[in-house]
Structure 1
């Protein structure tokens, strides 16, 4: 029979499974195959014995081909700045997996703030220049900084958008919708506001600890 883990207490090693037959079954950690820690929302296959479940096998490992090392439930929460830095340093071109709302909005926030900071040298030079003077070479050079920074953030931004789409159960290819005028922006804004799916999906476990 198949079902979904409703709850699990790591201290006692006991949990509860909601079977597809609408019945609930108690289980122990020793009944779960593999090194993976049971987690709420995880789909499993099991053998029912009265009101208990035995021979429990996590289905995501079978269906997705994931190893237990990739199945840790949730992740340690990071600060908004740490999420932004991770998107650039560790997941620059990584569109696989899932990204929670906090990670997405952290990138958007610091993308905007760093862009404004990159414009500061240009604005200072504009304020110091004479209105009668044409734009100097130094001013043109200072304008390159925000342009290059914008181009630099395009790739990690697309990768993050793909992971955010995965987090709500959608294909990363739907990011192409953002190129549709008006509709694309509203679509991505809607996706950015949708809560993470609390259960595992085709792209991995939920990044948020529920």
Structure 2
């Protein structure tokens, strides 16, 4: 019989397969042949036995028209600060792959908080009625920080579009006044596609 992997817990090594007969079958990692990790969305052939799936064989990935990288295991969840740091370090100019909602909103939150912190010297200078030269100098850090965040912000938005199955080129819609902001807000609130898509595996483990 053939079916599709619904879920898989990498810790316990147990998962569920939805058979083409509309019945769910439990399975363990030891029942899966080959080196292919049993990730959600992967089509498999198996032998049903007492409510469990045995002798599981992953089918050719080309059946779904997706690249092999799309079926890599989902990443481990990170904290909000860790997502922000990763965006500005490891993925600074990386528009490939997918970004879940938590990663997107983590970046937005800490980008805003760090921007406010960078503006504090300027606010103090204005409040103390400091000379104009000092006031201008205190504006330099927040301006540089804002420029620094532009590239990772764009790359993250592209990955968020990928996560909901849209082309990254749709980011150009954000340059349309009013419409662009609303469009990106909607995209930022849409749940991740639970299965692998053309841009990679689902970033959230089921």
Aligned-pair CA distance for 1:138: 2.0
**1:56-98 deviations in whole A, cap 9, x for unaligned?**
2255477444359x7123x222221111111001100111111
User: In the superposition, relative to structure 1, how do residues 145 and 61 fare at CA in structure 2: closer, same or farther (>3 Å)?
Assistant: farther
Q: Any stretches of 5+ residues in structure 1 without a counterpart?
A: none
Across the aligned residues of Structure 1 and Structure 2, the Cα RMSD in angstroms comes to: 2.9
Aligned-pair distance for 1:3? Answer: 3.3
Tell me if structure 2 keeps the 8 A contact 1:25–1:53.
no
Q: Output aligned runs, 1:4-23, within 5 Å.
A: 4-8=4-8, 15-20=15-20, 22=22
Partner of 1:122: 122
Structure 1 Cα separation of the partners of residues 119 and 9 of structure 2: 51
1:8, distance to aligned residue in structure 2 (A): 4.3
List runs of 5+ in structure 2 lacking aligned partners: none
Q: Distance in 1 between matches of 2:129 and 2:181?
A: 37
Q: Cα gap change, 1:58/1:117 in structure 2, threshold over 3 Å: closer, same or farther? A: farther
Aligned to 2:203: 207
Aligned length: 203
- Who is 1:44 aligned against? 43
Q: TM-score, normalised by structure 2?
A: 0.82
